[in-house]
Amino acid sequence: MDNCIYCKISEKRESADIVYQDDTFCAFLHPTPINHGHIVLTPSEHCTSLTLLDDETYSKLHCLARKLAKATLKTKQYDGFNIQYNHGECAGQDALHAAIHIIPRIGTDGFYLNWRMQDPESAEKRKELAEFIHSKTI
C-alpha cells in the first residue's frame, strides 16, 4: 500500500534498522521505541489486522515473534520482554498494518502497563459473554 509506513519499510522505500526479513515478514527496530530494542514485526503484505491473516501465516508470525524475543535476551542487555498486539485505535494501533511489538525489558526501566483492574460484570453478563465467545470459537 502506497502510504503505509510498514509497507514502505518492508519494500525498502523507507529506511529502518531491519532485524529480520524474508518473503513473508519484516521486523525492524521501532524508530520511536517504548524501550530500547523495541521491535516491530509485520507481515510484508499489507494487512490491517492479524485477525485477517490465514492460520499458517498467523502461526508463523507468532513463532517468529518468539524467536525475536529470545534473540533480544541473548544480547544479555535485557531481563525480559513484553509481546503486544494493538488492534484498533482505541487499543493504540498507530498504523493500519498488522504488527506485533516485541518490547525488551530491564528490571529498572520504570516502564509499567498502566492498566487498572475493574470490578467484574454481573455473573449473568459474564456467563452470557463466555457463551457467546465460546460459540464463535468452536
Would you tell me which residues interact with Zn ion (CB under 5 A)?
Answer: 1, 4, 6-7, 46, 97
The answer to whether the CB of 40 falls within 8 A of the CB of 65 is no
CA dist 24 and 106 (Å) reads: 30
Q: Which is nearer to Zn ion, 83 or 95 (CB)?
A: 95
Q: Which is nearer to Zn ion, 89 or 119 (CB)?
A: 89
Q: Which is nearer to Zn ion, 37 or 64 (CB)?
A: 64
Residue whose CB is nearest to Zn ion in the complex, by number:
4
Our measurement of the distance from residue 10's CA atom to the centroid of its chain's CA atoms, rounded to an integer in Å, reads 16
Minimum Å gap between C-beta 97 and Zn ion is: 3
Q: Which is nearer to Zn ion, 46 or 62 (CB)?
A: 46
What residues have CB less than 8 Å from 112, skipping those under 6 apart? none
What is the H or E stretch that residue 64 is in? Answer: helix 55-74
Minimum Å gap between C-beta 118 and Zn ion is: 34
Q: Which is nearer to Zn ion, 78 or 99 (CB)?
A: 99
Residue 83, C-alpha cell as written in the block: 509481546
Is the Cα torsion angle 42, 47, 50, 56 positive or negative in sign?
negative
Minimum Å gap between C-beta 72 and Zn ion is: 24
Minimum Å gap between C-beta 55 and Zn ion is: 21
Minimum Å gap between C-beta 48 and Zn ion is: 8
CA dist 138 and 133 (Å) reads: 9
